[in-house]
Chains A and B, each alone.
Chain A
Amino acid sequence: MRRTMLQSVFLYSCVVALALFTIAPLLWLVTMSISAPTDLTEVPLRWIPSEFDFSRYGALLNIDGGSGERFLSALRNSILTAGGATVIALMLAIPAAYSFSRRGASMVLLFAFLATIMMPPITYILPLYSTFSAFGMLNKTTTLIIVYTAMLLPFATWLMKANIDVLPVEVEQAAFMEGASTSYTIRTVVLPLALPAIAATAMLSFLVAWDEFFYALIFTNDLSAKTLPVAIADFSAGRVTDYGVIASVGVMATLPPAILAICFQKFIVSGLVAGSVKG
């Protein structure tokens, strides 16, 4: 269908408005992170920095500086926590997903899995806190990994199940006919076939764990275990006079998920859509 002039104008106005709405807050965050501190306290603001100042990033990546140490240790903790939980969650989710997909485990149970992550974390937090505290496990990366594993598990199971469902069942049957055990079949036949799905699930899980704040806030209290979200909340709540520092930490924390999201857009979007719509 051909568009009239008026329709085109309207369409492109909407496009520009949407693009601005989407990108402006991010652009501003980046701009703040490279503006001179004095630019950021002008009234009204100077939108284009008078000079590009990348020193904050330098400081963040310098382990010896105050903010650098805080940032880098939080980065390390976030990578360890999110990475560890993702790996363990997948190791548990794959057999579970196989059971749902090929061994007739009840869908009601899968839904019960999903219901556990839909519940507000405040429902679990206090008993968890008391237990971890009793075992001296507060402020430990391991503790967060355990909790995040449980948090990632239902969604990972669900996504993997949906993906195993569409694998050709004859290939597994062939393996059974050849005498392979279930675990051997999963390892040598199902896993290689499901590799793209595993990658997508791992990415989404990693992003969810990377984003988690509430448990980290309550279970950690110093550099040894605090993750990026908690560190950022600290930066933001602290008496920082240079807002550019907060902005630069924000940019750094956004980079990994943003890069993943842009590079694996198709993967992630289809995972997201499947994960939120199919029940």
Chain B
Amino acid sequence: MFGRRRKQEKWILLAPAILVLALITLIPLANTFWLSFTDTRISAIPSPVRFIGLENYIYALTDPEFREALYRTLYFTIVSVGLEGILGVAVAVLLNQKFRGHLILRALIILPWAVPTIVNAVAWRLIYHPDYGALNSLLFQLGLISDYRSWIGDPATAMNMVILADVWKNFPLVAYVALAALQTVPADLNKAAAIEGAGPWKRFWSITLPWIMGPLMVVMVLRTIEAFRVFDIIYVMTGGGPADSTKTASFYVYQEYFNYLRSGSGASYAVLVAGISAVLILFYYSSAKRQATGATA
């Protein structure tokens, strides 16, 4: 294909995709940005839009509740992604062993991933039920607790219980990525290290983990980006409660928009959340790129 024609074709082929993405994401993004400098409210009667400069941002940045929500989001993100990472690698190492039924187990692991997020939330909500939940019953029958608890009705435990449900659904992705990376570790490398006298634990830390670190990092950053915008599971399991103990940033913005109908101020929160996401996305980009160039080198 030749210069001009090639260039023309490049854009013609891209045009429909760019158009859709521009309409559904780019323009709304710009619009949200614009809204964040106004005091717009959602109402049936259109009211004049007033430009109020940085007022929303000043309010948002000094709003202790929003800051709380950000901290909670951070807690949710770090703990759930951290656990997914640890569990994922452990599961991958396990699945990489040869044992009877290892292929069946490998296949089973995909099931939590296949469960829709909302079903996952609903199922765990039932499991955590204060009166008839399976968790209470199980722990009680095992003698681990003496009284039934309200797992997600208690601000002290609610967030951690949500995290458990999230980890259950999302560890398979990390495990599969780690497993795929593990399968590329040359057997000779481990044998050589074993001959040098390195024990399994030492081999894991000095050979296996560094070898799979690249892809592992990339998928963890991806999970971080997803975890940071958590909404669905919170909406169904706790609705942000109890006592706001699970109200994350996305949920906070959602309420600002659709409960309090303050679109201008909600937009400023949204832009702040988007800004943090953008940083994470850039981080993903650089780690994925390092991974890609490292893999071909």
Contacts and interface: CB of A to CB of B under 8 A. Distances in A.
Instruction: Judge A-B direct contact (beta carbons within 8 Å).
Output: yes
Interface of A: 11-12, 14-15, 18-19, 21-23, 25-26, 28-29, 32, 40-45, 92-93, 95-96, 98-99, 103-105, 109, 111, 113, 115-116, 118-128, 130-131, 146-147, 149-151, 153-154, 157, 176, 182, 207, 210-211, 213-214, 217-218, 228-230, 232-233, 235-237, 243, 246-247, 250, 253-254, 257-258, 260-262, 265, 268-270, 272-273, 276-279
A147 B112 CA distance: 26
B202 interface: no
Please name the 7 residue pairs, one residue from A and one from B, whose CB atoms are nearest each other, closest first: A279-B288, A150-B24, A120-B229, A127-B31, A99-B13, A127-B28, A261-B114
B42 to A, nearest CB: 8
A21 B35 CA distance: 46
A272 B235 contact: no
Given A232-B118, A276-B177, A125 B257 contact: yes
Contacts of A146: 20, 24
Interface of B: 1, 6, 9-11, 13-14, 16-18, 20-21, 23-29, 31-32, 35, 42, 91, 94, 97, 99, 101-102, 105, 107-119, 121-127, 129, 131-132, 134, 136-137, 140-141, 148, 168, 173, 176-177, 180, 215, 218-219, 222, 225, 228-229, 231-232, 235-236, 249-250, 253-254, 257-258, 263, 266-267, 270-271, 273-274, 277-278, 280-281, 284-285, 287-289, 291-292
Given A153-B21, A247-B126, 4 more contacts: A19-B105, A25-B127, A232-B116, A258-B111
Contacts of B113: 261, 272
Contacts of B29: 119, 123-124
A217 B239 CA distance: 14
B111 A22 contact: yes
A279 B291 contact: yes
A151 B273 CA distance: 19
A277 B290 CA distance: 11
B271 A258 contact: no
B118 A40 contact: no
Contacts of B285: 111, 115, 279
Contacts of A126: 28, 31-32, 35, 42, 257, 263, 266-267, 270
Contacts, number: 285
**Most chain A beta-carbon contacts within 10 A, residue among B115, B116, B253:** B116
6 contacts: A19-B108, A121-B250, A126-B28, A213-B117, A261-B114, A272-B176
Given A44-B140, A254-B119, A279 B229 contact: no
A28 B126 CA distance: 10
Contacts of B16: 92, 95-96
Nearest to B8: A103
A149 B19 CA distance: 12
A11 B106 CA distance: 15
A98 to B, nearest CB: 6
Nearest to A264: B110
B235 A253 contact: no
Contacts of B173: 272, 276
Contacts of B118: 211, 213, 228-230, 232-233, 253
Contacts of A149: 20, 24
Of A146, A151, A153, A230, the most chain B CB neighbours within 10 A belong to A153
A153 B20 contact: yes
A247 to B, nearest CB: 7
A118 B277 contact: yes
B110 A118 contact: no
